[in-house]
Structure 1
Amino acid sequence: MTADRRQARDAFLAQAGWDDASATPVAGDASTRLYERLTKGGQSAILMDAPPGPDGPPVKDGKSYSAIVHLAENMRPFAAIARHLTQHEFSAPEIFAQDLTQGFLLLEDLGDGVFAARIDAGDSEEALYGGATDVLAALHALPAPTSLGCGDDGPPHIVPPYDDTALMTEAELLPSWYARLAFGEDLDATAQADFHAAWTQVLPKARTAADVLLLRDYHSPNLLVLDDQSGLQRIGIIDFQDAVIGPAAYDVASLLQDARRTVPADIEARLLARYEAARTAQNAGFDADAFRAAYAIMGAQRNTKIIGIFARLLLRDGKPGYLKHIPRLADYLARDLAHPALAPVAAWFEAHLPLEKICVPIDPDSVTT
């Protein structure tokens, strides 16, 4: 943290009345955001520090990757989505203070009960993922919001669409970055064109129902157990600043094909059926068969994207720790590609990048960055 940023942080906390709090770092995510837990007088809060700015240089048509795929470039989306979720009685953190211009939020501390820690401590895996599944079913029953206030006098946040351009750009991280990791060079132009053509055939099949609000990174690191709550409110939700409007199946796949920990196939199947039953109870016109196809497509897109992201984190950012998750993602991807709706994409992988190769863990020490 630069001296200027430290000064701005201290001024924000002083204005919020937390300048005399003690601070300890909190483990973050793969982004550049920083988090601190503040404590004073038996109370605690979380400081979220995210200076505004694009995620990287322009990559296409003068736009950064974050702009193309609709990643948050400032704190306004987080503030807007947090308020939307709490207004509908979901357990997102309350905002105590904010400076959206400089990129500071002082948030309710939802604790350390992340899913992985609670499961390791003996909580039922299926019960926790089931509760999170129920939250999604309830959230997806709501009309998709378009314009949301951010709690200040600034403009509202317009929730962007998860359009096919964004989905394709994300998926193309795999032939761009993982190919370099696997082969030491880019795939040839024909293979890249075939990849694009295969996904062009498949992606429209995921849009079989009205789009909903997607939290987009809805999986175990961003889900917490709140022991002082019950029902849907027992599941705490964080890290939703990249929320978009898109196919409901995306967040269900994000949860049940968790990138950070393996969800057994039998639990995935039961909870997928549980979600479908809840949506059918809400809407008799819910098409479970169409949803299953959309689930496979969105799962394949997400797993393809994340494999590319984890390769990029090593090659671009020097962060090798995410490579250990790639074999799990390849296993999920194999489940998805078995669906007939994904036949063109499955054929591409078979021809250009067999999943057996992705399943082999890569030693980061053997990779030249």
Structure 2
Amino acid sequence: MSHPPHSPSDPAAITRLPSDAFSPPQVDWPDAARKQAFESWLAGLSGPQGLKPGTLRPASADASFRRYLRIDANEGSRIIMDAPPERENCAPFVKVGGLMAQAGLLVPQILAWDEPQGFMLLDDLGTQTMMEVIQLQDEQANHAMYMQAVDALITWQLGSRPDVLPPYDEALLARELALFPDWYLAQHRGVTLEGEARKTLDQAFAKIIARNLAQPCV
């Protein structure tokens, strides 16, 4: 009876694997002081929260100066928000999350928050988004997910109260639209719009804002 050159139990086969074969992607820091502050904060949480610092890895980022990291725990994984306080204010995130939870929506629970330093430990709701599980060729299979999304929007709307959140006014719309040229084009594509191209975009934005403001507020 023949055997493969190296069976799974062969130590020689295992030791030939690269030493970093299963290492998570490296997390980069803008400066040594920020890294040291984070490591000190994480060390204080690792025991009480059952965290495994060696598993820290990037999770995602958004159109802001904050980013999200993922770390394994004794049970499942957790999300860490890194939001430098001189650039990001986490208070609105905490407030809106609380309002959504009160309305009955599923939101990450805040497990720890160092407000002065801008570090936050959160529940991990998973790695898949709705768009990633949509089956483009099977509309029937997607129906339940779309209805779930609609139900969540209705639940959030029914839980809304006047004068709790700032109005979606012209200034806020303009800031949201500016993410396209400022973050996507400039930051991610390395493109700066000038001249007629910028003028055309500004005109389009003005029409979008006008049409949105003409709609009833809900």
TM-score between both structures, scaled by the size of structure 2? 0.64
Superposition RMSD in Å: 3.7
Which residue in 1 is equivalent to 2:103?
88
1:44 to 72, 77, 91: 77
1:4 to 1:88, Cα distance in 2 relative to 1, 3 A: same
Rg (Cα) greater in structure: 2
DSSP 3-state at the match of 1:124 = helix
Unpaired stretches in structure 2, ≥5 consecutive residues: 1-28
1:109 to 1:145, Cα distance in 2 relative to 1, 3 A: farther
Which residue in 2 is equivalent to 1:108?
123
Pairing 1:187–2:196 present: yes
1:23 to 1:199, Cα distance in 2 relative to 1, 3 A: closer
Q: Which amino acid is 1:128 matched to?
A: M
Question: In 1, Cα distance between the equivalents of 2:199 and 2:161?
Answer: 39
Pairing 1:99–2:114 present: yes
Question: In 1, Cα distance between the equivalents of 2:152 and 2:120?
Answer: 25
DSSP 3-state at the match of 1:187 = helix
Pairing 1:163–2:145 present: no
Pairing 1:10–2:76 present: no
Q: Which amino acid is 2:131 matched to?
A: A
Question: In 2, Cα distance between the equivalents of 1:130 and 1:115?
Answer: 12
Q: Which amino acid is 2:196 matched to?
A: L
For residues 293-341 of structure 1, what are the alpha-carbon distances to aligned partners after superposition, in whole Å with 9 as ceiling and x for unaligned?
xxxxxxxxxxxxxxxxxxxxxxxxxxxxxxxxxxxxxxxxxxxxxxxxx
Conservation of the 8 A alpha-carbon contact between 1:75 and 1:104: no
Question: In 2, Cα distance between the equivalents of 1:40 and 1:136?
Answer: 32
Question: In 1, Cα distance between the equivalents of 2:170 and 2:91?
Answer: 24
DSSP 3-state at the match of 1:98 = strand
Unpaired stretches in structure 1, ≥5 consecutive residues: 55-72, 148-158, 212-369
TM-score between both structures, scaled by the size of structure 1? 0.40
DSSP 3-state at the match of 1:84 = helix
Conservation of the 8 A alpha-carbon contact between 1:49 and 1:104: yes
Pairing 1:144–2:146 present: no
DSSP 3-state at the match of 2:111 = strand
For residues 111-168 of structure 1, what are the alpha-carbon distances to aligned partners after superposition, in whole Å with 9 as ceiling and x for unaligned?
1232133225989323212211110011111233645xxxxxxxxxxx3322123324
Pairing 1:76–2:91 present: yes
DSSP 3-state at the match of 1:91 = coil
TM alignment of 1:1-369, pairs within 5 A: 1=29, 2-16=31-45, 17-18=48-49, 20-21=52-53, 22-54=55-87, 73-119=88-134, 124-144=141-161, 146-147=163-164, 159-168=165-174, 170-171=176-177, 185-187=194-196, 198=207, 202-206=211-215, 208-209=216-217, 211=218
Q: Which amino acid is 2:104 matched to?
A: E
Conservation of the 8 A alpha-carbon contact between 1:98 and 1:105: yes
Question: In 2, Cα distance between the equivalents of 1:28 and 1:84?
Answer: 23
Conservation of the 8 A alpha-carbon contact between 1:175 and 1:187: no
Q: Which has the higher contact order (CA 8 A, sep 6+)?
A: 1
Identical amino acids, percent of aligned pairs? 30
Q: Cα offset for 1:35?
A: 1.9
